[in-house]
Structure 1
């Protein structure tokens, strides 16, 4: 019998593949999905992950709860990781003469550059590693019981659509052919299953779990505010996108309220 975390991670695999498919075939109206995704993630961070982490771990370090320190740490770790592989080097393009890895490839002329060609692999590889952590988070949150496992699953499954979309788009932007883009999307889709499977081998203590939840909350906040929301609003700064974000927050509140 397949364990619950692996079954849930299979949902993340499906949305990752869907995101890759949309990037290849559609490429438009994704702003509504991304806006909803960001709202779900913001609600999960504020309404469930941080309260759960603070409730189960009251340890302080120099006057600050340890889960909150890890929350800030998680935010900055992902920020540093993405800067190192230049995933975000192109967000500035919307405000100046730079390049945006999430914009259509024909706006750029990086394909012939060897170093930039390798950068596409590095950037996509970072997304694959992030997806592995998503799967691990599903398995860890499932061990807590209650609503945390449910809301983490919602967060991961919904935002992995953006992961699949971005993995394919990045590889195309930096000069890789369609076959390599599809292969990297497949790796990104398999990563949550691998991460969830790892957690089946051991039980995570409540103390360690609270620290991880705080750390993962920082990850989600960074993804929602620095990655997904800018991408949702840059091509289509519409009221509908904002309404979908608010709807995502409200839906998370509803799920947690009904489950508690």
Structure 2
């Protein structure tokens, strides 16, 4: 596969993956608080699982524990700073803020994923394709995690898809870097993965899961979260 095709594939992975997750909001037509609580809990559990069992372990394996933890702490601090400069007026804005921060974290995360795709194809086409498939599947729940709070906050389905697509574009940019830079520094990849993991961990634990409980006080949000964690384990371990 030529370098041009690898770059195009990198963009398609990010756009289709996160865009598909964002497109789920087309099916949300005046949903009940019970349903939204379940979906938000599921998205939170899914992201918690992916971050814990896939993203951070990969960062530790790539650059070592110290580099991964440095990125994780930096990711948390970046989100805290980013959160403080966003307006915090009404509850609906909290959901919008949550979706924006999650989109920011996903965009950071997608760049090193693109690096992995580009570097994988430089090794062999079969290896590159396997990495591309896994990343595309991983991007779908990330799009869901970003789109759900935005949808609750009042963002239209069309805009939700557009925002999800924008968050996926860095995958293509990472693929360009992976192809043309040849050998990518493990330190750089691990640091970026750690930053993305820390950012997502903060938003998931501090915003998504608590607010899923606030939306509906029954057990359904907990069941949704557990289902999300199980789904994340399947995605990270089976694929």
Q: With structure 2 as the length reference, what TM-score do the two structures score?
A: 0.72
Stretches of structure 2 that go unaligned for 5 or more consecutive residues are: 121-126, 179-183
Does 2:58 correspond to 1:78?
Answer: no
Does 2:141 correspond to 1:158?
Answer: yes
Deviation for aligned residue 1:140: 3.6
Query: 1:134-149 alignment to 2 at 5 Å?
Result: 134-142=109-117
Stretches of structure 1 that go unaligned for 5 or more consecutive residues are: 60-64, 91-98, 105-119, 173-177
| Equivalent in 153, 169, 173 of residue 194 of structure 1 | 169
1:58-82 deviations in Å (ceiling 9; x for gaps): 37xxxxx121021011012112212
Higher Cα Rg, which structure: 1
Q: Please give the alpha-carbon distance, in whole angstroms, between the structure 2 residues aligned to 1:148 and 1:51.
A: 16
Instruction: Give the number of aligned pairs.
Output: 219
Q: Please give the alpha-carbon distance, in whole angstroms, between the structure 2 residues aligned to 1:39 and 1:58.
A: 26
Change (3 A) 1:247 1:137: farther
2:108 corresponding residue in structure 1:
133
Q: Please give the alpha-carbon distance, in whole angstroms, between the structure 1 residues aligned to 2:68 and 2:131.
A: 15
> Per the alignment, in what secondary structure is the counterpart of residue 238 of structure 1?
coil
Change (3 A) 1:155 1:241: farther
1:12 corresponding residue in structure 2:
18
Q: With structure 1 as the length reference, what TM-score do the two structures score?
A: 0.67
1:5-24 deviations in Å (ceiling 9; x for gaps): 523531211221333x3566
1:213 corresponding residue in structure 2:
193
1:57 corresponding residue in structure 2:
63
